Amino acid sequence: MMNSTRRQFLRSTGMAAASIGIVAGSTFAAQERRKPASIPSPAVLPLRQTGKRPNVILYVGDDWGSGLAGCYGHHQVKTPGVDALAAEGIRMTHAFCTTASCSPSRSVLLSGMYNHANGMYGLQHAEHHFSSFDTVHSLPMFLAQAGYRTARWGKYHVAPESSYAFEQVLGPGGHPRDGADKCRDFIAEASDKPFFLYFCPTEPHRNFKRDEGDEMNAKDITVPSYLPDIPECRQDLAEYYASIQRCDKGLLRLIEILKDTGRWNDTVVIFLSDNGAPFPGAKTTLYEPGIRLPCVIRNPLLAKQGGVCNAMINYTDIAPTILDLCSAMPTDSAFQGRSFAGVLDQENPAGFDEVFASHSFHQITMYYPMRMIRTRRYKLIFNIAYGLPYPFASDLYGSPTWQAVLKQGCKTYGKRSVEAYVRRPRFELYDLQEDSDETRNLADDPAHAKLLEELKTKLREFQKQTRDPWLHKWNYE
């Protein structure tokens, strides 16, 4: 049971969010606060003119990191599924999760609310036992109310089920390709109702599951700049990349099934990842490798194919966008994101130039709340509990990469010192144009004092408008 304090908090949060409609990539102008913004475009008008609503598949990789697909320019990971989707869809270049943690990120995807507002502060499973408020109303429920058949396959990792309810559960997991086959009957079912399929493999999460034939030579691996170029990390990456290739096979099979069943031209397919790669420096952080993620969207009624969209969006925007594409946007919701369906056919749409992020926990022992604002050029991270050492997820701490760093007594980790990674200041301000590795903190630089105050003001306003319980931490501790 939820106690009265939590109920009162959620009630105030939901009411405020419904009336405010705070969105990523916008200012908090009064005219934008009534409901999630939807920008009309010929790209989505045919759905409404014909009255036919699309099917939707939301494919969520597990810890699939930034840029790790052929269509994003990666030359070592083979991703024919994602690449095929991008060839006929739109590749988002600036898609961000709001928290680089599995359960919280998935709750944001499905609720359209930041995890500090929906209550899913950390992981759902085992002793962590975090759960969203029981009055959260999520994407599959809105779609079911709008006449959609809904089903999920694979990793769920959110709670309570009453807030994230699907009509069918097609399987708990397994090989993504086999999972796609288990969804065939649901996809092919003769029905006058369109469908929504939420497909969530457990790859490429540690421990890395790999298929025979996908092995890579660790010596050939190009190590990203945020990681140490040591043999243990190279081998770790080789196994990780092979697991990504296994995950991609599920998407490729779903595309084949959609074509075989005649559903390909009636189905919106969205591919993305819950958070960044399972390495220190990425997952659980608000640095770019943790939150800037692959996202490819194919809308069969979009005239433009094989293009890119540089709009800055975050995962609070996914649920409103899907509902907009399905002509199912509720008149009253607690969404804190907005639809970007109307700008998918625009390479550089106006008004999508900043995003926010909010991280509080991962595992129950990992209290380290952070809030972030990112513009095209700058990023400000507010480390609320900066007096504490930065905590490690158990799988990241136990990874061959980090254990080698400890064993060898390395003083640096990628481009950072180990000390700087573990001991963080209250504010981190980065010029991403000049410092893409986020290693030169400008927060104490007098030349950036005005910018720092401007971003702090925006960040406080974001917390205020989204009813962030950590807002009061600006004023004490």
What are the φ and ψ backbone dihedral angles of 52, each rounded to 5 degrees?
-90, 130
Residue 278 contacts residue 205 (beta carbons within 8 Å): yes
CB under 8 Å, gap of 24 or more: what pairs does 207-213 form? Answer: 208/239, 208/240, 208/242, 208/243, 209/243, 209/246, 210/239, 210/242, 210/243, 210/245, 210/246, 211/242, 211/245, 211/246, 211/249
In terms of DSSP bridges, do strands 378-383 and 416-417 run parallel, antiparallel, or are they unpaired?
Answer: unpaired
**What end-to-end distance do the CA atoms of the chain give, in Å?**
31
- 171 φ, ψ to 5°? 155, 150
Query: Catalytic residue at 309?
Result: no
Surface-to-core class of residue 7, CB atoms within 10 Å of its CB (0-12 exposed, 13-18 middle, 19+ buried):
middle
Determine the Cα–Cα distance for residues 295 and 121; give it in Å rounded to an integer: 24
d(CA 116, CA 196): 26
Q: Quick check: 370 and 284 in contact, CB under 8 A?
A: no
- Burial class of residue 34 (count of CB atoms within 10 Å of its CB; 0-12, 13-18, 19+): exposed
Q: Which of 102, 200, 233, 309 is catalytic?
A: 102
Q: CA-CA distance, 360 to 286, in Å (whole number)?
A: 11
> Which amino acid belongs to residue 439?
T
Structure token digits, residue 218: 């660790």
Pairwise CA distance, residues 361 & 220, whole Å: 36
Residues labelled as active-site residues:
102
